[in-house]
Structure 1
């Protein structure tokens, strides 16, 4: 189906004049990445930067509606293919409505998750990773075609991360309910991806939150 689309179909980079810096945080559930994204945003603001802190899935009105569909409910609620389409749709709306306007203004955009999470959670978790990962990459190339300037991977042991995530006990537990083994596979997948993508910096998430925040800030200041 995708091969029948017009080759000159507009893509995100065609309409984006980028002036700002795009930073993503990644990691398994319970890694502490959301806390670190918030701390970084707060610190950069005190240093005089204009910062937009956002999240995925979500970050725009339409994407937040999709968030409720994909993060709540039974673990087997969606087929892998449907889930990939939903996440891609949410990301496209997030880019159009939130990320691109902020980057065009020259803001620093910090997002809690981006496309790397879809590559892992949807691309490898079902055991037919090659086919699903190819689908994720094809849709990303066609509809998103943007990568962060810097990705901070907060790395943590799968057992610890899963225990932390389960203890939160909220409505958005669909992926946590898939179990510890999934988190271990995701961690391996993130680390493998980091070895092939220079934009990804691995941060030891087992340190104290203050120590992690300091390492994160040093990494970002070097990039700035």
Structure 2
């Protein structure tokens, strides 16, 4: 691998850094939104349908748990390849940042659902029982007690989710996914530009640090304990 720094002698690569960063933010943002919108209800359903949940449905719970476990067991790169035809149909493309949104969401939903389940199960059962004794409906218990108490943990879980998706998006860049991963692979690996790898890593680290900081701040803000 070349060790000389060539970045400032490569205007094409310089111009690609900003667009690659935007592509990464777009694919991470849209896939995170889809994951939260689908994974949060799935996590809630896993908790409410359990034997000890507020609306027990053991058969449904076992089916959902099996689906989530299977989804979490498939390595992302393999899932990405398996979903190529479906991604092409859903997103009208299976390359670039748009082609990564669907597989990123599909691969992240089971992971996030388990995180949500863990956060909801950590809520003090005494508070739930108190709400039940006061005659609160199941919907009120879930919204005003369980979700409210678990919200700081859920926000931290979303933070972990975003950082995980950033890592997945970089991996997807090696198979035409676009973004910073594609920039690092096309120039940093295939053309042996060490400076491109370094700058790409620095940008990803900065993004991760910003996400973590915002997540910590928002989690503390909604923590009413």
- Write 1 or 2 for the structure with the bigger share of helix: 2
TM-score norm. by structure 1 comes to 0.30
TM-score norm. by structure 2 comes to 0.30
Larger radius of gyration: 2
